[in-house]
Chains A and B, each alone.
Chain A
Amino acid sequence: MVSIARRNLFAERGRLFISVGGVAFAVLLILTLLGLYRGFTRAFTLYIDNVKVDLWVAQQGARADMMHSVSLMPRGTQGKLEAVPGVEEVHPFIGRSVVFPWKGEAVSTYLVGYDVDSNLGGPLRVAQGKAEPGPGEIIVDKVFSRNKGISLGDRLPIGGSLRADSSPPLQVVGVAEGGNTGLFQFSFVSRNEAESLLQMTGFANYFLVHLDRGQDPAQAAARIEAAAPGVKAFTVSAFSESNRELLTEIFLPIIAVLVLIGFGVGTVVIGLTIYTATMEKSREYGVLKAIGATNRRLYRIVLEQAIISDMLGYALGVVLAFVVVGAAERFVPVFVADLQVLDLAAALGIALLMGGLASYFPVSRLVRLDPALVFRA
């Protein structure tokens, strides 16, 4: 049978445009937010996930996330950790957020001092310049470089009055990728440089632990905590998760509210357009009822209209989301979004739910439709 729903929809292009536009806007908003959330959570721990160690050891009682960490342990702890059975080697990790003046503003970066020889804790990929920073040299993240207008050869006055000597500012010798968490970017210097710059000689913020082959990280963590009081040992996944918690605590409620708003806007727009279209066509629905259409058949027409609007809006919304995310990543370097199949499926489910809810009120009106309506002039 000819699709009345489709004919009705396409006969009124303006209304269809509004309806599809409403859903597309909602899907765009929802996908962008979900993509942003996914992107941020992935980017936030990308560095941690790629440091090739078995355990991260922090000061007990300190927050485990690097952003807010005040974890500070004497270097002597390293020996205690190395003595724990199953531990192969231990590397001190120095890292903290620093602020320095640059082109008239105060800019911040998370400065990591790493063992250049082993490259443990170093940049994930170097896109430009040297792969290893020498004395007085720094490698910055690409996003940081683009955002702040920092180029190879620039000299960054990091450390300020903290610096133990009067050495000149650090020279940018490399630009790395994979160090953008969305909230901040990593910069890398040699561990000796960091110790001097941050006056961390004799201390470490974390210890990176390699275990003997075949050792269970969780059991080793328990042994470490027993052998070295005052420390807390994390497996990589646990450390990654506790860093993500910060993001989840801050952003998830905001994103949930915005997704809800998107859902509401989409539902209201499609609901109003389908409702007004149904009411305007109530006489035609009456005619269909008179000539033998069951209520179920009428519901199907309304639902089909909602679903068609939904699917067109969804398709447009997905395309727009990829365009917007792509453009944002290009023009706003700090923007990290990751559109996953799971999120596309979630947005599809949300769009279908919008269609279902949107057709509820028109359908409930059709139930009460007086068939005698068709006999009125």
Chain B
Amino acid sequence: MATDTVLELVGVTRVFGEGAGQVVAVERADLRVGKGELLLIMGPSGSGKTTLLTMAGGLLPPTSGHIRLGGRDLTALSDGELSRLRQQHIGFVFQSFNLLAALTALENVEVALGLAGRDGQGAKREARRLLEDLGLGHRLHHHPRDLSGGEKQRVSVARALANNPELVLADEPTANLDSQKGREVVELLRKVAKEMGKTVIVVSHDHRIRELADRVLWLEDGKLKEMEVHRDPVCGMEIDPARAKASLAYEGKVYYFCAAGCLQLFQKDPGQFLASQSSAL
């Protein structure tokens, strides 16, 4: 394991169910993420992104393979040890913010500190500092119901950072936000990676994040691979497979289309478009 590698997945597989109903959610995934890196994992719904994130967070054991965080093998830890690990070394940012409704913004952050054994005025000061750093100094005593989506997500980020973790896992952090707030949150996560030196893994469908990520991986049918740039073979437009209007397997390769019309043209004479694609390359 390289010295700056924070998270490492080695041959990680997760299978749900048995027999005919068996589903392989993640298959032999290998991954290394370094300190200060912002990694984006994309993929269609049901591709295993959340399962991968859950395993990386020590919330779900893999069926086989190993997950190492800062040199510790998560698969060898007990439930209690995993809880302590999550308290101190992993921060979570959720799609639905998942703040505790009965607590104020300040208390939501304090809870994370309290779970790690930091109580009293010191914890309160630390929670306040984190929220103020994220521009929420004026919203400390507001309950989640009184905060906007962007503010809630910033409280969620503050909670994730409360115990100065090495790894921050964010699940669809922009899904419930408008484009401006979504971008602000992603920029904040980038800042967390670059200025605070945290390893940040974001799972998302949001293609707007791609430009801010250091690396983008594609997860489909449980398999993790480097993100390819897909182009519609008919019109040449860059296509995000998750947002493609249509796809077609042809001669062992999957092609993605921006519209049903492009697919129909392709189906009439694939050779014409593949030849022009080859010549373009």
A and B interact: yes
Residue of B nearest to A371 (CB): B59
Residue of A nearest to B107 (CB): A2
B54 touches A4 (CB 8 A): no
Which residues of the partner chain B approach A331 to less than 8 Å between Cβ atoms? none
B107 touches A292 (CB 8 A): no
Which residues of the partner chain B approach A291 to less than 8 Å between Cβ atoms? 86-87, 91-92, 111-112, 115, 159
> What is the CB-to-nearest-CB distance from A317 to chain B, in angstroms, rounded to a whole number?
26
B59 touches A11 (CB 8 A): no
A287 to B160, CA, bound (A): 11
Which residues of the partner chain A approach B94 to less than 8 Å between Cβ atoms? 287, 374-375
B54 touches A297 (CB 8 A): no
A311 to B115, CA, bound (A): 26
Tell me whether A377 and B172 are in contact in the complex, defined as CB-CB below 8 angstroms, given that A290-B59, A372-B60 are known contacts: yes
Which residues of the partner chain A approach B176 to less than 8 Å between Cβ atoms? 377
Does B79 make an interface contact (CB < 8 A)? yes
Tell me whether A8 and B86 are in contact in the complex, defined as CB-CB below 8 angstroms, given that A292-B115, A374-B94 are known contacts: no
Q: Total contacts A to B, CB within 8 angstroms?
A: 89
Count of interface residues, chain B, beta-carbon cutoff 8 Å: 40
Does B227 make an interface contact (CB < 8 A)? no
A284 to B96, CA, bound (A): 11
A170 to B112, CA, bound (A): 83
Count of interface residues, chain A, beta-carbon cutoff 8 Å: 26
> What is the CB-to-nearest-CB distance from A24 to chain B, in angstroms, rounded to a whole number?
23
Does B44 make an interface contact (CB < 8 A)? no
Query: CB within 8 A of A4: which of B80, B83, B86, B111?
Result: B111
Residue of B nearest to A377 (CB): B95
Residue of B nearest to A5 (CB): B102
Query: CB within 8 A of B114: which of A2, A294, A372, A375?
Result: A2
Which residues of the partner chain A approach B234 to less than 8 Å between Cβ atoms? none
Residues of chain A from 256 to 300 with CB closer than 8 A to chain B in the complex = 283-284, 286-295, 297
A375 touches B171 (CB 8 A): yes
A297 touches B50 (CB 8 A): no
CB pairs A–B below 8 angstroms (7 shown): A1-B114, A7-B103, A291-B92, A374-B92, A374-B98, A375-B94, A375-B95
Q: Show the binding face of B for A, using Cβ within 8 Å.
A: 50-51, 53-54, 57, 59-60, 79-80, 83-88, 91-92, 94-96, 98, 100-103, 107, 110-116, 119, 123, 159, 171-172, 175-176
Q: Show the binding face of A for B, using Cβ within 8 Å.
A: 1-2, 4, 7-8, 10-11, 283-284, 286-295, 297, 371-372, 374-377
For the A-B complex with A7-B100, A374-B92 known, give 7 more contacts whose Cβ atoms are closer than 8 Å. Answer: A1-B115, A284-B98, A287-B92, A292-B116, A294-B83, A295-B79, A372-B59
